[in-house]
Structure 1
Amino acid sequence: MDARQYASLPDPFPMWRGGMLHGARIAYETWGALNAARDNALLLFTGLSPPAHAASSPADPSDGWWQGMVGPRLAIDTERFFVICVNSLGSCFGSSGPASIDPATGKPYRLKFPDLSVEDIARAGFETVRSLGIERLDTVMGPSLGGMVVLAYAAQFPGAARRLVCISGTAAAAPFAIALRSIQREAITHDPDWAGGDYSAERPPLTGQRLARKLGTVTYRSAAEWQQRFGRAPIRDDMKSGDPFASEFAVQGYLEALAQRFVSAFDANCYLYISRSMDRFDLGVHGEAVSVFRRAALSSALVIGVQSDLLFSLTEQQAVASSLAAAGVATRFAPLPCIEGHDAFLVDLDTFGREIGAFLRG
């Protein structure tokens, strides 16, 4: 079953760093109903890799990536809000990206897809909302990459949202995150099967993708959680191999299982494009942060960070919250003590749900 719907983007669709797309589209899913005033819409952007399927629905009853957070009487209450989750421009779950067919050639774009920016992802979400006849959102929200996209949304479209929720995001990529993502991309591009981006569907750069995902997963969580969950437990017997340097510990088996699941679903070039867009993002190109947020005409904002997050430090979220407050936006900053690191928003739904639910009810 498939609950995806599709919004056609303006043709041509200009890209932030140059170039344009023709015949581009965005895949999205919705929950709840748009009210008569058309003012109860909540736009949800995702992290780097999820599709638009944030939660189950009658059209697709399978669990979504934020199952337990989006739904009737949950933190993001679909009895109150019309929730729209978009698959990011540049991704491979229905939205136009490097894996999509270039209408000019009839073949996948691959590296001929224009440079992708966080600003492009934000604009594609904005145009999706406009295609639904919504002039102003109640709330624009996003975690991780989505936490960056919501800032670009506020910067580019003043007055287009009443409230903003930035979860584990940043106003500009920090050196640690840039260094990490550059190594992940290098793992892919140095895999011989990447073939300069022109790999076949039958032979993608699986080794590079696996290594990139494993490295990412290590930083998405925290050392304390790894210790708590795995300690020095041995790998399962069914995951052992005859390699003299094969994995011996349960944590290694966990990383391999997640990596295998990722490479079976996500396109390598899409990963490269979105990853680089995160490195390049800097809200400062839109002006001084306080001025940007003042122009955005937000009534209130919630900024959430996690104390154990290695990838997007708490000081980065504090800086965003401080700029919002200095711009006169009623802002709540929530530094959460979750042990799960950057991915805590996917795991500790009770803690995140309390913060998000209280804000949205306010």
Structure 2
Amino acid sequence: MGDARQYHLLSSPFRMKRGGELHGARVAYETWGTLSPNRDNAILILTGLSPSAHAAANEQDPTPGWWNEMIGSGKAFDTDRFHVICVNSLGSDKGSTCAASIDPATGEPYRLTFPALSLEDVANAAHEAVRGMGIEQLACLVGCSMGGMSALAYMLLHPGAARTHISVDTAPQAQPFAIAIRSLQREAIRLDPHWNEGRYSDDQWPEHGMSIARKLGVITYRSAMEWNGRFARIRLDPEQRDDNEPFGFEFQVESYLEGHARRFNRQFDPNSYLYLSRASDWFDVAEYGQGDVMRGLASIHIERALVIGVSTDILFPLEQQETIAKGLEAAGAQVDFVALDSPQGHDAFLVDIENYSRAIGGFLATI
């Protein structure tokens, strides 16, 4: 398996929204399809909190990506027509500069000396990478979940940088429920003794904290309807239970969450998780509109937009996507709003490929 990552070296110093700067920083990205001679067929995808830039298989790395069924020849993101780019967020440990990276000033990992990260920084880093490819204007800017907020920041900070926009299961600002969940996730990590103020090591890793954080996330990424349908109150078989452990797992749903947490645990740097999680809470379109979300959205000028939401999403509720759609429309864009009834909740865009393909492929066929 080859490494399909490419890297863009950011301007040095790269100044951060909330103060501080990075030197010699970079972002990782991957591409699919061919850039047209006049560089006007590029689609940029900004990701949720945990995915890498590997959104789909490509020649260098044939392993399936996190949106594999969506990107390729004849798929929703048709690589026969478009040049698709996925940038790994600044602050993520999947190849981009983050809290786990070496600080060139000290030769040690940044850890908690990494500057305060905002989604505006994520957007500016992605924009620099796109400009570095010689692309003046994207044919379409796509943002999923946290990446949808980064995409709004991208368009607010760089007017004219995108012709059209696809907003997927996101929000113009975090609501109290989402902030509360992410706050608990961060607290679980920080209260793990092995976190040690960010100074953990491979043999002293905050596994319990990361495990609880992931379980909380997975619970909110799906809907109650999905949990009922999949697990009901089914109990574990006796041989799957540890009767010597007081208050041990009894139900299948507990075992399922444990499996998810185990698979995630060593796959993501805890400090990077903390930084990106907080950046999601901080982001607020209202900052660009004198405290008013609609006024903030009014300064985004694009030709067309597709806004997709799911009625079962408790993390980024459908009414937040309606707000984005109304705001972009009021600002002069032609907006298609698609409300899906997928039972999978927030994660539907990763699971309900048929409905998302139809909506996204249909929209892109008209731009």
TM-score normalised per structure 1: 0.98
After alignment, is 156-165 or 228-237 more displaced? 228-237
- 1:331 equivalent in structure 2: 335
For 1:340, the aligned partner's letter is Q
Contact 1:154 1:293 in 2 (8 A): no
Superimposed CA distance per residue, residues 182-205 of structure 1 (whole angstroms, 9 cap, x where no aligned partner): 011000001110001111122111
Superimposed CA distance per residue, residues 145-167 of structure 1 (whole angstroms, 9 cap, x where no aligned partner): 01111111110000000011111
Candidates 246, 254, 258, aligned match of 1:252: 254
Does the residue aligned with 2:216 lie in a helix, a strand or coil? helix
- 2:64 equivalent in structure 1: 63
Candidates 262, 265, 279, aligned match of 2:267: 265
1:228 and 2:212 aligned: no
Superimposed CA distance per residue, residues 272-303 of structure 1 (whole angstroms, 9 cap, x where no aligned partner): 00000000100111225555545433000011
- 2:301 equivalent in structure 1: 297
Please give the residue correspondences for 1:147-158 in structure 2 after superposition, counting only pairs within 5 Å: 147-158=148-159
Shift of 1:37: 1.0
Give unmatched runs, 5+ long, in structure 2.
Answer: none
For 1:310, the aligned partner's letter is I
Separation in 2, partners of 1:316, 1:57: 34
Separation in 2, partners of 1:296, 1:315: 19
For 1:332, the aligned partner's letter is D
After alignment, is 3-12 or 281-290 more displaced? 281-290
Separation in 2, partners of 1:350, 1:256: 29
Separation in 1, partners of 2:301, 2:324: 16
Please give the residue correspondences for 1:210-225 in structure 2 after superposition, counting only pairs within 5 Å: 210-225=211-226
After alignment, is 266-275 or 287-296 more displaced? 287-296
Separation in 2, partners of 1:257, 1:236: 16
Separation in 1, partners of 2:239, 2:212: 21
Separation in 2, partners of 1:246, 1:105: 45
Q: CA RMSD in A?
A: 1.2
Contact 2:300 2:331 in 1 (8 A): no
For 2:114, the aligned partner's letter is F
Q: Among the aligned pairs, what percent are the same residue?
A: 53
For 1:220, the aligned partner's letter is Y
Separation in 2, partners of 1:295, 1:139: 18
Separation in 2, partners of 1:235, 1:53: 35
Contact 2:27 2:87 in 1 (8 A): yes
Shift of 1:232: 2.1
Superimposed CA distance per residue, residues 184-227 of structure 1 (whole angstroms, 9 cap, x where no aligned partner): 10000011100011111221111000001101110110111011
- 2:325 equivalent in structure 1: 321
Distance 1:129 1:239, change over 3 A: farther
Give unmatched runs, 5+ long, in structure 1.
Answer: none
Separation in 2, partners of 1:212, 1:239: 24
Please give the residue correspondences for 1:38-49 in structure 2 after superposition, counting only pairs within 5 Å: 38-49=39-50
Contact 2:221 2:315 in 1 (8 A): yes
- 2:5 equivalent in structure 1: 4
Contact 1:24 1:96 in 2 (8 A): yes
Distance 1:331 1:246, change over 3 A: same
- 2:76 equivalent in structure 1: 75
Please give the residue correspondences for 1:116-265 in structure 2 after superposition, counting only pairs within 5 Å: 116-235=117-236, 239-241=240-242, 242-265=244-267
For 1:339, the aligned partner's letter is P
After alignment, is 25-34 or 296-305 more displaced? 296-305
For 2:129, the aligned partner's letter is T
1:86 and 2:87 aligned: yes
After alignment, is 243-252 or 5-14 more displaced? 243-252
Please give the residue correspondences for 1:5-20 in structure 2 after superposition, counting only pairs within 5 Å: 5-20=6-21
Contact 1:239 1:253 in 2 (8 A): no
Candidates 328, 346, 354, aligned match of 1:342: 346
Contact 1:291 1:327 in 2 (8 A): no
Contact 1:209 1:263 in 2 (8 A): yes
1:351 and 2:352 aligned: no
For 2:266, the aligned partner's letter is S
TM-score normalised per structure 2: 0.96
Shift of 1:249: 1.5
